[in-house]
Amino acid sequence: MSDSLTNGESDVSLFDGSILKELDFSECLATYKPTISHTSPGENLIMRPLQLSDYEKGYMKLLTHLTVVGDVTKKEFEDRFCKMRGCADSYYVVVVEDTSVGKVIGSVTLAVEQKFIRQCSSRARVEDVVVDDEYRGKQLGKLLLDVAMLLSKKIGCYKVSLECKDKLVPFYEQFGYVAGEQNYMV
């Protein structure tokens, strides 16, 4: 980890976490039973931006619940982290940490694309929504999705979309996502 990056601090965040604190969660609050929020996600849990030290806190292992991750070294992780961090206003990887065990147990990525259209607007994609299986069913997936949606609004995106397997369509429909009219091609 380079000194210029850490600037003497013990850790580095992927983006300025103050934007999370500024989110207006009031429109979502009533939908949580029991009540949790991004500032209070549960006992010993905190929600925050991805940090460099999350490599040691199991972030890459968490991603294996999603897809093939590969054998990513710490150096490779740090290089990718720095590249993403260098793209201003583009990568918002939000994680939930269980501070009692120092482990990252949930994550969502909001990837923002800068556009010329719509008066130089931006559009966002929700990617890599994952909750550690020991922590599922506690509304954390919902919380991560709500935070991604509120972040996209705060940033001023005109559109937010995601791709998912058929079996997860009902999960995302709960949050207002609908099948788009355009074809998705790979």
Ligand X SMILES: CC(C)(COP(=O)(O)OP(=O)(O)OC[C@H]1O[C@@H](n2cnc3c(N)ncnc32)[C@H](O)[C@@H]1OP(=O)(O)O)[C@@H](O)C(=O)NCCC(=O)NCCS
Between 65 and 153, CB nearer to ligand X: 65
Interface characters, 58-97, with ligand X (x: CB under 6 A): -------xx-------------------------------
CB 153 within 8 A of CB 18: no
Name which of residues 131 to 160 contact ligand X (CB under 6 A): 131, 136-142
Interface characters, 10-49, with ligand X (x: CB under 6 A): ----------------------------------------
Between 12 and 108, CB nearer to ligand X: 108
Long-range contacts from 20-23, C-beta under 8 angstroms, 24+ separation = 20/47, 20/48, 20/49, 20/94, 20/147, 20/151, 22/154, 23/147, 23/150, 23/151, 23/154
Between 12 and 131, CB nearer to ligand X: 131
Q: Across the strands, what pairs with 103?
A: 98
Angle at 53 between CA 155 and CA 36, to 5 degrees: 55
Among 63, 130, 147, 157, binds ligand X (CB under 6 A): 130
Peptide bond just before 170 cis, omega within 30 deg:
no
Spatial separation of the C-alpha atoms in residues 186 and 172, rounded to whole Å: 21
Binding window for ligand X (CB under 6 A); candidates: 17-25, 47-55, 69-77, 170-178: 170-178
Q: Residue type at 53?
A: S
Q: Which residues make up the interface to ligand X (CB under 6 A)?
A: 65-66, 129-131, 136-142, 164, 168, 170-171, 174
